Amino acid sequence: MTASKTSPHALTFVLITVLIDMIGLGIIIPVLPRLIEDVAHVDIAHASVIGGWLFVAYSAMQFLFGPIIGNLSDAYGRRPVLLASVAGLGVDYLLTAFAPTIAWLFLGRLIAGICGASYSTANAFIADITTRENRAKAFGMVGAAFGIGFTIGPALGGLLSHFGDRAPFFMAAGLSIANVIYGYFVLPETLSPGRRRPFTLKRANPLGALVAFRRHPLLLGLGAVLFLHFLATNVYPAIWAYYTIYRYQWSELEVGLSLTAFGVITAIVQGGLVGPFIARFGERMAAVISLTVECVIAVGYGLATHGWMIYALLVVGALQGIAMPAINAMMTHEVEEDAQGELQGAISSLMGISAIVSPFLGTQLFGMFAGPGALMELPGAPFFLTAILSVVALWMFVGVPRRRLA
């Protein structure tokens, strides 16, 4: 089906859905520490431990259910899966807004992870309604909505925290419910019954994509480097709010604004600097520089004694975002054209696994080295772990043979 054959509102709905998903993820980061403190009656250090498990629950559901939901949409159509996912997010936000106990918060995060795993369906929907010539542009718009949502979310969460730590969840619920109503009237079904296939669990294996590394042994070294890179950088979103509240006594608004600044700086680097930087230094050297910056910046975050230092580190630290596209490009040179999709699926699996492991490691370390019961007062411990992982990644990358690599 092409865009000309479907409602002009269809793409708009998908973009709004992705936008709301990311706003909903970002909106909770500034207020979640205080909400956990309130519900569980613990200090910020112990709240980080609980928050880490909440993050793990969300990421694990996304990882496990991404392939399942994508395959469900192939079997039953895109429309019911997308509408159910958006409605489920609305229910999640309401559950969290009224949560009287930690158990309710966990239930909410589980539902959010399952419903937020609808990106595969959103991408399939885009493929259904666009021509080959316009498909890349449409995927780019989805990526832009993804970035904008995560940039807006933390700032909005910080601003709404003025009305209470639960206020952002009521806002997110309202947005989701409004989007369901909008989608009910404008969203068409783009997958005809004749193009559907039965659902099977075998095709919904989230680890299945990793077989690409076995089929292409030359990718193993670079895959290991990327995995360590993902492990290192995924510590930041899990620990950021707890660390800045504890060490600099930041308010929810200050936490949200810092994350928004991070989003804006990252967008500028990813959108305007990656290409010229790699063209100037080459893929291999660009990755070396980026991984080196990643090591140094992590130590900087762990040692920073004043909140204003964070913003200086954010600007320089944005260069660490060049590592992923540079290494990804190098990996694409190692496989044939008909295996590129398999490669990207394998990389996505690595990202999913790291999104489960990193929050656990980072938050548990913070809980061990901050607060009254700390083994020793070292709240920057999660960032020092990031630095260690980055050093190992850099060491491994330098050791990867130059054979066929840029």
DSSP 334-346: TS-GGGHHHHHHH
Q: By the 8 A CB rule, do 71 and 197 touch? A: no
User: Mean pLDDT for each consecutive 10-residue tract of the chain (406 residues)?
Assistant: 53 79 81 91 92 90 80 81 87 89 91 75 72 66 74 88 88 87 82 76 69 72 91 92 94 91 82 83 92 96 94 90 86 70 72 90 93 89 96 92 54
- 234 to 257, 350, 356: CA distances (angstroms): 19, 12, 9
Domains of the chain (ranges, CATH numbers): 8-187 (1.20.1250.20), 211-399 (1.20.1250.20)
pTM score over 0.85? no
Nearest to 185 by CA among 9, 4, 2: 9
Element (H, E) at 208: none
| pLDDT for the residue numbered 290 | 94
Residue 392 burial (C-beta neighbours within 10 Å; 0-12, 13-18, 19+): middle
At residue 3, the pLDDT reads 40
Q: What is the pLDDT of residue 365?
A: 94
Write down the residue that tokens 């919904």 correspond to. Answer: 204
Backbone CA torsion sign across 65, 179, 51, 297: positive
- Distance, CA of 285 to CA of 278 (rounded, Å): 8
- Planar angle of CA 244, 247, 249, nearest 5 degrees: 70
In contact, 151 and 263? CB cutoff 8 Å: yes
- Write the DSSP string, 133-193: HHHHHHHHHHHHHHHHHHHHHHHHHHHHGGG-TTHHHHHHHHHHHHHHHHHHHHPPP-S-G
CA distance 89 to 21: 8
Amino acid at 20: I
